[in-house]
Amino acid sequence: MDAGGATRTELLARRAQVALAEHGRDLLQDKREQLMAEFRATAQQVLAGSDALRAAGAAARIALDRANARDGPEAVASAAFAATGHVEVEATVGSIMGVRVPRIEHRPIGRALLARGYNLASTSPRIDELAERFEAEVDLVLQVAAGEVRLRRLAAEIAATTRRVNALEQVVIPRLIASRNRIQRVLEEREREEHFRLKRAQMRRGRHSRSRS
């Protein structure tokens, strides 16, 4: 910086910029902590859901093998065709520290025995169990998928926030502090020089007064 351009006004402005940048960094750090807390909670739900999904999938495959073996693939396929339905999914958007985070919800997949659409008189309890197992699996698939969508959004925002925090901590704030310190050193040096000039002037006046007396 040009020493001649350093002023008290610039020093005050630079101090304000440092304070503003540090305040912005603190806000971003708070935001990141909140997002990470939400990420950890969601990750635990997804992990638990994934474990439950694996167990539900294994149980559904066992039920399918049992029904195919005892009732025959034709009976299973006929019941599956008759039980075809649709899944209602609702997507909403929530906010965490100003970040828009998706939330996907769905109605329970499981249906009452009489609501599945196939003829109970021509099917067996094994097919009823098979339908129940696969409904439970689909329900968990949707839960885990919704959690994974949320995790991806949170992870992306955490990464972006971390980049902004690092930019402030490692680039912006150090530069502002260095600039503030340079201005302050220049002003302090000027004050010392001015003080020295005044002292010399006083000494000259003192010598001049003594010589006249």
SS (H, E, C) 170-197: HHHHHHHHHHHHHHHHHHHHHHHHHHHH
Q: Is the pLDDT of residue 4 over 70?
A: no
Q: How far apart are CA 198 and CA 205, in angstroms?
A: 11
Q: What is the pLDDT of residue 120?
A: 87
Span 55-84, mean pLDDT? Answer: 93
Q: Is the pLDDT of residue 155 over 50?
A: yes
Neighbours of 169 (CB within 10 A): 15
Q: What is the pLDDT of residue 1?
A: 43
Q: Best-predicted range by mean pLDDT among 18-27, 115-124, 194-203?
A: 18-27
Q: Confidence band (pLDDT; 50, 70, 90) for 213?
A: low
| 124: nearest Cα among 69, 84, 62 | 69
26 vs 97, residue with greater confidence: 26
Q: Is the pLDDT of residue 5 over 70?
A: no
Q: Confidence band (pLDDT; 50, 70, 90) for 3?
A: very low
Architecture of domain 3-205: Orthogonal Bundle (1.10)
Q: Confidence band (pLDDT; 50, 70, 90) for 16?
A: very high
What is the per-residue pLDDT across 71-128, written as a single tens digit (0 to 9) for each? 999 999 999 888 887 888 888 888 887 888 888 888 888 888 888 888 888 889 999 9
Q: What is the pLDDT of residue 210?
A: 61
Q: How far apart are CA 157 and CA 121, in angstroms?
A: 54
DSSP secondary structure code for residue 121 in this structure:
G
Q: What is the pLDDT of residue 110?
A: 85
DSSP secondary structure code for residue 168 in this structure:
I
The percent of residues above 70 in pLDDT, for the chain, comes to 94
Q: What mean pLDDT is reported for the chain?
A: 89
Confidence (pTM): 0.75
Helices and strands (H and E) in the chain: how many: 4, 2
Q: What is the pLDDT of residue 207?
A: 67
Neighbours of 24 (CB within 10 A): 15
